A and B are shown apart, each in its own frame.
Chain A
Amino acid sequence: QIQLVQSGPELKKPGESVKISCKASGYTFTDYAMHWVKQAPGKGLKWMGWINTYTGKPTYADDFKGRFVFSLEASASTANLQISNLKNEDTATYFCARWRVYYGFAYWGQGTLVTVSS
Chain B
Amino acid sequence: VLVTQTPSSLPVSLGDQASISCKSSKSLVHNNGITYLAWFLQKPGQLPQSLIHTVSNRFSGVPDRFSGSGSVSDFTLKISRVEPEDLGVYYCLQYVHYPLTFGSGTKLEIK
* Residues of A in contact, count (CB < 8 Å): 21
| Pairwise interchain contact A47-B91, C-beta atoms closer than 8 A | no
Give the docked Cα–Cα distance between A95 and B40 (Å): 14
Please pick, from A59, A102, A105, A108, the residue contacting B93 in the complex, using a CB distance under 8 A: A105
Interface residue tally on B, bucketed by range = 20 to 34
Distance (whole angstroms) from the CB of B89 to the closest CB of chain A:
8
| Pairwise interchain contact B50-A105, C-beta atoms closer than 8 A | yes
List chain B residues, Cβ under 8 A from A61: 99
Chain A's closest residue to B50 (CB) is A106
| Pairwise interchain contact A47-B100, C-beta atoms closer than 8 A | yes
List chain A residues, Cβ under 8 A from B102: 44-47
Distance (whole angstroms) from the CB of B28 to the closest CB of chain A:
12
| Pairwise interchain contact A109-B50, C-beta atoms closer than 8 A | no
Please pick, from B50, B54, B89, B95, the residue contacting A108 in the complex, using a CB distance under 8 A: B50
Give the docked Cα–Cα distance between A55 and B86 (Å): 39
| Pairwise interchain contact A47-B47, C-beta atoms closer than 8 A | no
Distance (whole angstroms) from the CB of B19 to the closest CB of chain A:
20
List chain B residues, Cβ under 8 A from A102: 34, 53-54
What 1/0 mask marks residues of chain A from 29 to 47 whose CB sits below 8 Å from any chain B CB? 0000001000000001111
List chain B residues, Cβ under 8 A from A108: 47-50
List chain A residues, Cβ under 8 A from B91: 44-45
| A85-111 CB contacts (< 8 Å) to partner B | 95, 97, 102-111
Which 10 A-B pairs give the minimum distances between C-beta atoms? A47-B100, A61-B99, A45-B102, A108-B47, A104-B95, A44-B105, A104-B38, A103-B53, A106-B50, A44-B104
Q: Could you give 11 example pairs across A and B, Cβ below 8 Å?
A: A47-B100, A49-B99, A61-B99, A95-B47, A104-B53, A105-B38, A105-B50, A105-B93, A108-B47, A108-B50, A110-B47
Binding site for B on A (CB under 8 A): 35, 44-47, 49, 59, 61-62, 95, 97, 102-111
Binding site for A on B (CB under 8 A): 34, 36, 38, 40, 42, 47-50, 53-54, 59, 89, 91, 93, 95, 98-105
